[in-house]
Amino acid sequence: MASAFSHAIVAWAIGKAVPMRELTTPTLAVGMACSILPDLDVVGFHFGIQYGDLWGHRGLSHSILFAVVLSGVLVTLGYRKRTAAAKLVLFTYFFLSTASHGLLDACTNGGLGVAFFSPFDPTRYFFPMRPVLVSPLGVGEFFTGYGWQVLLSEVLWLWLPAGCFVLVCRQLDRISAADV
């Protein structure tokens, strides 16, 4: 898996790429939490759930369906007084933030892959190019030589591209606004 830091940074970049007034700082924080939430499935290890099970790590909680359901619940419960257009923006942001988790994990060099289509299809997938070092599960393990290598890998392959994505999108937004 990618680290919680990288999941949050990618969700932040998604939210900051296109300026929308619905994406306030608290809303960006919710999106960043959505991007980390799928990894709560590691708690299952303590209850005997196996890695490759439906509820195992990178299983159902990393699926597209999970991202849809979580986003729908958040918008329905937390943003019900918003306009339909605002709800669509918020749903899209929460969905992309949550779904980005599985996409990042499919770029790592460890684990069993990601069950994108769970529960309908248990097949687990990786992307052909997997340049990101798999993150340690424990927080303390980040303060080891390998932990620092993981963070360096994520800075190179995730943080820098996320920052460039925001800058390019913002520049394109400025150019299109100037053309009007």
Q: Encode pLDDT of 58-116 as tens digits.
A: 999 999 999 999 999 999 999 999 999 999 999 999 999 999 999 999 999 999 999 99
Give per-residue pLDDT as tens, 124-173: 999 999 999 998 877 778 788 998 999 999 999 999 999 999 999 999 99
Q: Measured between alpha carbons, how far is 49 from 57 in angstroms, rounded to an integer?
A: 9
21 vs 31, 65, 81, 115, 125, CA distance in Å?
15, 27, 15, 34, 36
Sign of CA dihedral 18, 24, 26, 30: negative
The H or E element containing residue 65 is helix 64-78
Question: pTM to 2 decimals?
Answer: 0.93
What is the C-alpha separation between 126 and 111, in angstroms, rounded?
9
